[in-house]
Amino acid sequence: MPSGLKPVALLCTSNGVGLGHLTRQMAIGRHLRTTHDVVIFTLSPAATLAVTAGFHTEYLRSHEYGSVGNQAWNGFYATRLEHLIDQYHPSIMVFDGGHPYAGLCAVLRQRKDLLSVWTRRGLWQPGLGHDAFSRSALFSYVVEPGEYATEMDRGLTSGGADATLVAAPMSAVQPGDLRPADQVRTELGLNPDRPAILMQLGAGQINDIGSLSARVVASLQRHPDVQIVVTESVLTRTPAALPDNVIRVRHFPIGEYRAAFDASVMAAGYNSFQEAMALSLPTLFIPNQSTAKDDQDARTRWAEQSGCGLRWDDLGDNKSSDELHTAIDCLIDPAQRTQMRAQMAKLGPATGAEEIAAVLGRWSSERQPTRP
């Protein structure tokens, strides 16, 4: 329970099915808690990660897992948020999510005196998100975690539209957080003298020969010296069956293990992409083209054009399969990896979490509520 000796920061996240928003709020919270009692209110079933990290944590089950309709759930959300505000009297409330919920918006309309901030990720796909974007006006401030590929933003968020602050890119794992490569390789049973590739595509269908993960594994296996490690989400309840020569790793945050790998193959979500850039991990990015707003295609095109990474777009045809082999061959080539690392070394550090925490602390100190 927050002690009351410091002002309270209430950090709210979406994430019914993933970790991205929760991970970013925890990264901000680690810096913010030097001056604030941080309370995390999340919909993520990985809420225990925040508890383990020492945060006071409140959890509400996402409507995606419930049996009630969207309207009723938003009523639950609004009531719960009202109770948390009355209980903790936060000096600042921060929401990280792609779409502010109707229940959240209802509270903001009622609580005119609440200092509220939307940490709104940029790089939206062109033409998408008008309803969500219009809700920016309900918040006291809008903060945008930075993006290495920001020049590719052609959506509503282009140029940090209406954001009070566009911070540096954000990575929850910094170079100083990396576990020594030899320790991780020993822990995972990896040969220190052979290249190791980390796959972050989801392992659920790896035994389905037509699945994306299976095709990537098959392409990597054309190089018999390569060791393949597949990440498994901490949210996974039933471990996937893996081929005998593929190693499973389940760790949060997986970025702490980066030094043990020569390269990776991953989707191009915000967190994993910024982290790969910040930690100079040569990567073949495969954009998820089915996201609600996040423009992963633009992110991977920037990586390819800048020389900071490789890109492959799964089109599901024979030509696409040939291009996958070519991309994997480039990833395995030590000279190609050296070139990618040299380009990534030119990028600025991913200090967005520290930067955002500092400005949240300043805004909070300028307008602290009177507590009973």
For residue 372, what pLDDT is reported?
A: 39
- DSSP β-bridge partners for residue 41: 12, 58
Q: Among 23-37, 206-220, 245-259, 284-298, which is the least confidently predicted range?
A: 206-220
For residue 171, what pLDDT is reported?
A: 97
For residue 308, what pLDDT is reported?
A: 98
Q: Which two tokens stand for residue 2?
A: 């927050």
- pLDDT-derived band at 370 (thresholds 50, 70, 90) equals very low
- Backbone conformation region of residue 127, classed left if phi is above 0, alpha if psi is from -120 to 50, else beta: left
Mean pLDDT of 96-107: 96
Q: What is the pTM of this model?
A: 0.93
Cα distances (angstroms) measured from residue 298 to each of 19, 126, 163, 237, 302: 22, 10, 21, 32, 6
Angle separating helix axes 20-32 and 270-278, nearest 10 degrees: 60
For residue 318, what pLDDT is reported?
A: 67
pLDDT in tens, 297-348: 999 999 999 999 999 998 766 678 899 999 999 999 999 999 999 999 999 9
For residue 320, what pLDDT is reported?
A: 84
Sheet order of strands, 227-231 included: 246-249, 227-231, 196-200, 263-266, 283-285, 310-311
For residue 16, what pLDDT is reported?
A: 60
Cβ of 198: how many Cβ atoms within 10 Å?
A: 24
Q: Which two tokens stand for residue 293?
A: 């707003």
pLDDT in tens, 122-133: 999 999 999 999
- In this model, does residue 36 exceed pLDDT 90? yes
For residue 204, what pLDDT is reported?
A: 47
Q: Where are the alpha helices (DSSP H) in 157-285?
A: 181-188, 212-220, 270-278
| Closest alpha carbon to 301 in 319, 318, 316, 289 | 289
Mean pLDDT of 187-206: 85
| Closest alpha carbon to 19 in 231, 248, 298 | 231
Domains delineated in the chain: 8-170+351-366 (3.40.50.2000), 175-344 (3.40.50.2000)
- In this model, does residue 195 exceed pLDDT 80? yes
**pLDDT mean across residues, the chain:** 92
- In this model, does residue 1 exceed pLDDT 50? no
- pLDDT-derived band at 268 (thresholds 50, 70, 90) equals very high
d(CA 197, CA 209): 20
- In this model, does residue 167 exceed pLDDT 70? yes
Query: If residue 230 lies in a helix (H) or strand (E), which one and from where to where?
Result: strand 227-231
- In this model, does residue 361 exceed pLDDT 70? yes
Whether the Cβ atoms of residue 324 and residue 219 lie closer than 8 Å to each other: yes
d(CA 260, CA 195): 9
For residue 210, what pLDDT is reported?
A: 63
Whether the Cβ atoms of residue 295 and residue 229 lie closer than 8 Å to each other: no
Cα distances (angstroms) measured from residue 117 to each of 8, 255, 335: 14, 27, 45
- In this model, does residue 290 exceed pLDDT 90? no
For residue 67, what pLDDT is reported?
A: 78
- In this model, does residue 241 exceed pLDDT 90? no
For residue 193, what pLDDT is reported?
A: 96
Whether the Cβ atoms of residue 288 and residue 313 lie closer than 8 Å to each other: no
| Closest alpha carbon to 100 in 80, 78, 123 | 78
Backbone angles phi, psi at 298, to 5 degrees: -65, -40
d(CA 276, CA 67): 38
Residues in the chain, total: 372
